[in-house]
Amino acid sequence: MKAVALTSPGTVAVLDDLPEPACGPGDVIVAVRGVGLCGSDLAVVSGRRAVPALPWVLGHEAIGVITAVGRDVTGRAPGQRVVIEPNYPCLACAPCRSGGTAGCRDRRAAGITEPGLLAERVAVPARFAWPVPDDWDDTDAVCVEPFTVALNAVRMSGLRPGDDCLVVGAGSQGLLVCMAVRHAGGTAYVSEPHEGRRDLAVALGARAADPGGHDQRFPVAIDASGAPEAFERALECVTPGGSVIAVGQSSAPAQVPTFTLVQRRLTVRGCLIYDHPSGFAATIATLERSGLRPGRVLRERFELADAPKAFERSADIAGKTWITLPHDDEETAP
């Protein structure tokens, strides 16, 4: 079986000798059709996020078709088209029991703590394989996972209809945050030094923020960059009593004077993924009734054989990159 793996620090290769996945009693086997790339994947490849072993199968934003189900599985069947929720909380610890599964102490993450989904076939716990309509475009389906992050960030921000929101960073996640802001009735202003990314955000409906940023103030700011200076800009530009949501991550410290937080009465929150099952359920329902097209952020598509090139180029592309895998109609027959 073919899969895309990190074989040594900084080196991505297509392997063709991986064993077929085993279908446990509560699992489904999914024939993967497409996988989106994001900053977490690039962090693994660069070594900024350590993985348990090498070679390491990459990827976590996957769509596909169920080809087999475990003996204890109900509600899933061969031939169903699914998007995969790639974070598997234990559902038993205190955070999980309270509904905050993003804070699960034993959460497993495909592509990070266990092998990823960028393979011809993968085994997935059945409850994390979400059926989606057959008429959805693959581009929209493959963006369900990162769009769930974006929708969650906007919900956490307290943004109200009519509010302006500063989105710092117009990488793929920032673009989806801009889309989520508009869906919530706000106006997204994007701060992004990369001209191509900034222009794409504007083409997708955002407005360009004042590059200096000294005269514009926003009730909500969302940092989708992760760079310390981006977080600092978000703090600088939010109005007194406003909220700052951090989606991007960095191990480098940002300068955050408590004087600023206290005197301006700011609320600062970190947004880590989403909760199960509410996050994915809400996103799929939103896309079904709204006509939103998150796949518009996808700008470069690569075949499986060109996956190393996809990882190499992803950081420099304005918009999101994804990798498609070949179809085999026979294996999806019920």
Whole-angstrom Cα distance, residue 255 to residue 163?
27
Q: Is the pLDDT score of 333 beyond 70?
A: no
Q: Are residues 243 and 311 in the same domain?
A: no
Q: Are residues 33 and 126 in the same domain?
A: yes
Q: Record the pTM.
A: 0.95
CATH code of the domain covering residue 151: 3.40.50.720
pLDDT digits (tens, 9 = 90+) for 39-80: 999 999 999 999 999 999 999 999 999 999 999 999 999 999
Which whole-number Å values give the CA distances from 307 to 15, 35, 53, 119, 303, in the listed order?
11, 10, 20, 11, 7
Whole-angstrom Cα distance, residue 31 to residue 49?
27
Helix, strand, coil percentages (3-state) for the chain, rounded to 5, are: 30, 30, 40
Q: 283 lies in a domain?
A: no
Q: 218 lies in a domain?
A: yes
Whole-angstrom Cα distance, residue 302 to residue 200?
20
Residue where one domain finishes, among candidates 270, 287, 310? 270
Q: Six-digit token pair at 191? A: 């701060």
Q: Is the pLDDT score of 332 beyond 50?
A: no
Total structural domains within the chain: 2
- Label each residue of 84-113 as H, E or C: ECCEECCCCCHHHHCCCHHHCCCCEEECCC
pLDDT digits (tens, 9 = 90+) for 95-128: 999 999 999 999 999 999 999 999 999 999 999 9
Q: 288 lies in a domain?
A: no
Q: 281 lies in a domain?
A: no
What confidence score (pLDDT) does residue 213 get? 58
Q: 58 lies in a domain?
A: yes
Q: 307 lies in a domain?
A: yes
Q: What is the DSSP letter of 163?
A: -
Q: Are residues 152 and 113 in the same domain?
A: no
Q: 286 lies in a domain?
A: no
Provide the mean pLDDT of the chain: 95
Q: Are residues 189 and 237 in the same domain?
A: yes
SS3 category, 140: helix
pLDDT digits (tens, 9 = 90+) for 203-242: 999 999 987 756 789 999 999 999 999 999 999 999 999 9
Question: For the residues 247-264, what does the mean pLDDT come to?
Answer: 94
Q: What is the CA angle 307-319-242, rounded to 5?
A: 130
Q: 280 lies in a domain?
A: no
Instruction: Quote the domain boundaries for residue 155.
Output: 147-270
The half-sphere exposure of 315 on its side-chain side, counting CA atoms within 13 A, is 11
Whole-angstrom Cα distance, residue 68 to residue 57?
21
